[in-house]
Copies of this chain bind each other. A is one copy, B any other.
């Protein structure tokens, strides 16, 4: 910078400098979008910046305050070099091996699709310049995020590398730029990091598969029981029911099951801890994976529940519509009985309240809302209110069934109606949960969760390690 300072601005030195008395110089190879954005942010964080370029004099605009030099000179001027070059052009770096020896090379590159190359870009870079300390970092961030600094979501900088000091150096810079660092271990993790930006809703995959499976099952099950049965048995063609009434049976069933599946793993975990008498043993992988996708399960359940509500509200209208095309002849005149009215009304009322709670859960899981809650408040909503929702919805379904559980006529072709099937899991979850709430059980469980361990010989070894 000293080169460019105009005489009258001498007094500026302390201002721009004092922030970091002798400014550290950082080097960036490549003046593309990413290089420029990163450079701008580095300058604003008080670093002195040098660009390395093939044609230092015709390399397009660089942020004011930065200098552009040949790769050789630039490399010597700094101990940390960001490589903002596409992998195809890495080879030229080999010629810089002597200048880059012992320096920290930050590989920020990404690929267009997975497994484009035999080894990760960062590992390839390390191979080219064995003397340098390659660190993979920043590749999960967009040029936009690098320029405008971290926003709520893309604040995480994942890094990996073989040299701890090199990683530490990159970590400090990242933190000065305002990002938070997560160390993913040795350079062999680079491949994994390079795949991150290519993933599409990884954590939604399992829940979606489950949803599709359940939906398909219930659809064909109900199709057989309602439409096909009516056709075969009574020769009536009610296929049009598929669009509304049938869908409106599938959605709530799947929704209820998914909701209960959000709470099942928690209950199972409780029993695990009770059985093992400690909270310090890891859960089996399948349980961990399950627990990690509870939020997604819940949100899909909410979406289906909303569709259920919308359909329920639309059906009478579409019905209304039909009503106008032909006179309906309802010849059954059962006397009006209050019980029936009570049942119907509470069925709808509880459904509505359940849905309200459902929405509340959904809203509270919006990032900005859940951030605004203390941990205690969040867990209160997600567990206490969650179970209340589950109870309401289950009860709502039971009211739907009412006494029809008993009517043999319901069991067409000896199959139980759909709402019975979808009641199994939720009922199970609620029962198990109640078991865990029994005073005696609850007490020992909470003791375990506060760190107490049932002492039995084969445990002591572990404990001494943990203490």
Contacts and interface: CB of A to CB of B under 8 A. Distances in A.
Given A21-B21, A200-B377, A356-B310, A325 B332 contact: yes
B133 A356 contact: no
Contact of A149 (B11, B155, B330): B155
A410 interface: no
Contact of A371 (B151, B360, B369): B151
Given A60-B465, A326-B333, A46 B348 contact: no
Interface stretch (A236-244, A260-268, A424-432): A236-244
B9 A133 contact: yes
A92 interface: no
A372 B181 CA distance: 17
Given A153-B372, A240-B341, A325-B336, A348 B11 contact: no
Contacts of A24: 14-15, 18-19
Nearest to A14: B79
A12 B133 contact: yes
A320 interface: yes
Interface string A169-189: 101111110101111000000
Nearest to A345: B243
Contacts of A459: none
**Number of copies of this kind of chain in the complex:** 3
A311 B239 CA distance: 28
Interface string A7-26: 01111111110111111100
A333 to B, nearest CB: 5
Interface string A307-328: 1011111111111111011110
A417 interface: no
Interface stretch (A118-126, A159-167, A210-218): A159-167
A43 interface: yes
The 7 lowest CB-CB distance pairs between A and B, nearest first, are A18-B24, A368-B368, A153-B371, A149-B180, A243-B345, A15-B169, A240-B341
Given A14-B79, A196-B374, A322-B340, 18 more contacts: A9-B163, A11-B102, A12-B163, A14-B24, A15-B80, A16-B165, A18-B20, A18-B23, A46-B175, A58-B464, A60-B466, A60-B467, A314-B351, A314-B352, A322-B344, A324-B330, A325-B337, A367-B371
